[in-house]
């Protein structure tokens, strides 16, 4: 990752957000500039989903992923799959300490939570109903030594304490000896907050969750875009002058 610019982006609502024309323009530009542009997906999605998605459609392949809401950090091999980086996940695994079954047992009787079927390694995730949710569930999880993260007003994740997108992205950047000022972090929901305040240039794309916008500090390095999804990423790239050819993307959507 010796490239002068790296995009570290959430998927749903961010890299996958906006018009089809905006997405295609950004994806094509990334592919045309692979010698100077690096790509990291920072997502709540699991590695298998990301590999299938990149294999089956027009998405450019990332070099690395920080997925499962920060609990997985991996290098991407298009032909061989997504390979976890053991040196970066070891601390996450130790913090989680195989707590999945215990978390499920503790939350089984709480209303407003429907466990997601995907078998995650170092997290437990639920579909979340705010109208019937009992906030005492978060107190139980805190007592177990874990964190609760609610995002988009419909998802609840139980994570190892201190682990989320932001800390895991920083762990990856340090591993790659990649200066934070060369990285643009992009997101749109509350589970992106830790990434957007991690210290890199950052953008909350247009249409972001209101709770995320309210939580963001007013800092020059955090851009609140007007443009939706992929176009919001481009808006921030130009605003921060992160790549000399970023304005070329706009010509593809005029």
99-157: pLDDT as tens digits: 999 999 999 999 999 999 888 999 999 999 999 999 999 999 999 999 999 998 999 99
**Look-up: residue for tokens 């593809």?**
252
Please, which pLDDT band fits residue 254 given cuts at 50, 70 and 90? very low
The per-residue pLDDT for 81 is 84
- Calpha distance 107→15 (Å, rounded): 33
3-state DSSP helix/strand/coil % of the chain, to nearest 5: 40, 25, 35
Please, which pLDDT band fits residue 253 given cuts at 50, 70 and 90? low
SS3 at position 183: strand
Please state, for a pLDDT cut of 90, what percent of the chain lies above it. Answer: 88
178 pLDDT more than 90: yes
Strand 124-128, strand 146-151: pairing: unpaired
227 pLDDT more than 70: yes
Q: What is the pLDDT averaged over residues 75-84?
A: 88
| Prediction pTM value | 0.93
180 pLDDT more than 60: yes
């Amino acid at each position: 990752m010796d490239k002068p610019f790296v995009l570290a982006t959430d998927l749903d609502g961010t890299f996958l957000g906006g018009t089809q024309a905006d997405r295609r323009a950004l994806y094509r530009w990334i592919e045309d500039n692979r010698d100077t542009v690096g790509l990291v997906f920072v997502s709540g999605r699991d590695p298998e989903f990301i590999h299938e998605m990149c294999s089956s459609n027009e998405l450019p392949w990332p070099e690395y992923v920080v997925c499962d809401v920060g609990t997985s950090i991996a290098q991407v091999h298009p032909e061989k799959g997504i390979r976890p980086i053991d040196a970066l996940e070891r601390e996450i695994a130790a913090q989680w300490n195989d707590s999945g079954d215990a978390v499920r047992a503790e939350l089984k009787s709480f209303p407003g939570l429907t466990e997601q079927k995907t078998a995650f390694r170092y997290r437990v995730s639920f579909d979340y109903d705010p109208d019937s949710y009992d906030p005492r569930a978060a107190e139980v999880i805190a007592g177990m030594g874990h964190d609760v993260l609610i995002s988009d007003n419909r998802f609840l994740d139980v994570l190892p304490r201190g682990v989320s997108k932001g800390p895991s992205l920083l762990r990856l950047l340090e591993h790659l000896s990649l200066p934070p000022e060369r990285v643009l972090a992009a997101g749109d929901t509350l589970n992106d907050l830790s990434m957007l305040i991690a210290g890199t240039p950052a953008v909350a794309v247009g249409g972001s969750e209101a709770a995320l916008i309210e939580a963001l500090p007013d800092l020059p390095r955090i851009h609140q875009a007007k443009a939706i999804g992929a176009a919001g990423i481009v808006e921030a790239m130009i605003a921060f002058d992160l790549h000399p050819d970023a304005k070329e993307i706009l010509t593809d959507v005029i």
